[in-house]
Amino acid sequence: MLDKMKPWKNTKNSSVLRDKIEVIKEQTIPAHVAIIMDGNGRWAKKRALPRIAGHHEGMKVVRKMTKLANQLGIKRLTLYAFSTENWKRPKTEVDYLMKLPEEFLGTFLPELVEENVRVEMMGYKESLPSHTLKAIERAMNATKGNDGLVLNFALNYGSRAEIVDGVKRVLDDYKRGIISEEMLNEDSFSTYLMTKNTPDPDLLIRTSGEIRLSNFMLWQLAYTEFWFTDVLWPDFNEDHLLEAIEVYQNRQRRFGGV
């Protein structure tokens, strides 16, 4: 359908992008989109740049995708920004990554407030540097009244740890008589996870050609549509997000919610 539109190549033109957004909004928009933003190091390596240059370029794409997701009416955008495994990277790279939330928010928070975006975070906060956490908590506080797109950053997040911690909390509640064996089911267990009371992702996007989940939302992705692309995250643009959503819409038409 979109391919009948003007050529994709000039989507940078805002009027063409606006037209494409209107076309795609005629069909079901996924309420929750999750993205594994992969390929930043490879993008830098291809240009003989340091890895941190790829992370910085990737941060600019976060802003572009946030704006487009909000324009499309996506309710929740979850971005895998730092995994529990990422601590194994060189200290210089980790230190740089831990400064990106402040840089992103320091630059774009006024725009997020203006665009009615609410910032949230899921992950193990206690291991984050205080300067990182302070910046994120300031942004969450500044946007807590917004009811537009929820921009949810998975930071120091790991799904297996999340599930094991959830089981431990179930055991604790069971010992205290708060939950019985009969009360425990998929729905009640979901309330013990970081994603409590939030809808599972409808669409997962992973960039850079890797076809694996990398310990990301393993419980929550049980019924999610996956869309993988070879595009490296710093090269990911509006056309790619619109294409992923169009593929999602075609699958919904063909197979429905089954």
Ligand X SMILES: Cc1cc(N2CCCCCC2)n2ncc(-c3ccc(F)cc3)c2n1
Beta-carbon contacts of 250 under 8 Å, excluding residues fewer than 6 positions away, are none
In one-letter notation, the amino acid at residue 107 is T
Shortest approach of ligand X to residue 40 CB, angstroms?
A: 5
Does residue number 192 form part of the binding site for ligand X (CB under 6 A)? no
Shortest approach of ligand X to residue 215 CB, angstroms?
A: 15
Buried b (16+ CB within 10 A) or exposed e, 143-180: beebebbbbbbbbbbbbeebeeebeebbeebeeeeebe
Question: DSSP per residue over 192-235, as a string?
Answer: TSTTTTSPPPSEEEE-TT--S-TTSSTTTTTT-EEEE-SS-GGG
SS3 (DSSP) at 88: helix
Binding segment (CB under 6 A) for ligand X, from list 55-63, 180-188, 198-206, 236-244: 55-63
Shortest approach of ligand X to residue 105 CB, angstroms?
A: 5
Binding residue (CB under 6 A) for ligand X from 43, 82, 157, 248: 82
Does residue number 36 form part of the binding site for ligand X (CB under 6 A)? no
- Residue least distant from ligand X (Cβ): 58
Does residue number 245 form part of the binding site for ligand X (CB under 6 A)? no
244 φ/ψ angles, rounded to the nearest 5 degrees: -60, -40
Q: Which of 3, 19, 38, 235 is catalytic?
A: 38
Sign of CA dihedral 63, 215, 163, 128: negative
Which of 156/159 has CB closer to ligand X?
156
Q: Is 38 a catalytic residue?
A: yes
Binding segment (CB under 6 A) for ligand X, from list 22-30, 96-104, 172-180, 222-230: 96-104
Tokens of 77: 């955008």
Does residue number 216 form part of the binding site for ligand X (CB under 6 A)? no
Shortest approach of ligand X to residue 13 CB, angstroms?
A: 25
User: Chain-centre distance of CA 45, in angstroms?
Assistant: 24
Does residue number 104 form part of the binding site for ligand X (CB under 6 A)? yes
116: alpha, beta or left? (left if phi > 0; alpha if psi -120 to 50): left
Beta strands in the chain (DSSP E): 32-36, 76-83, 118-122, 150-157, 203-206, 225-228
Shortest approach of ligand X to residue 39 CB, angstroms?
A: 9
Residues near ligand X (CB under 6 A), total: 20
Does residue number 52 form part of the binding site for ligand X (CB under 6 A)? no
Q: Which residues pair with 120 in a beta bridge?
A: 152
Q: Is 70 a catalytic residue?
A: no
User: Chain-centre distance of CA 76, in angstroms?
Assistant: 8
Subset of residues 225 to 244 that bind ligand X, contact rule: CB under 6 A: 233
Binding residue (CB under 6 A) for ligand X from 34, 105, 117, 244: 105
**Residues identified as active-site:** 38, 86
> Applying CB under 6 A, which residues contact ligand X?
37, 40, 55, 58-59, 62, 81-82, 97, 100-101, 104-105, 119, 121, 136, 139, 153, 155, 233
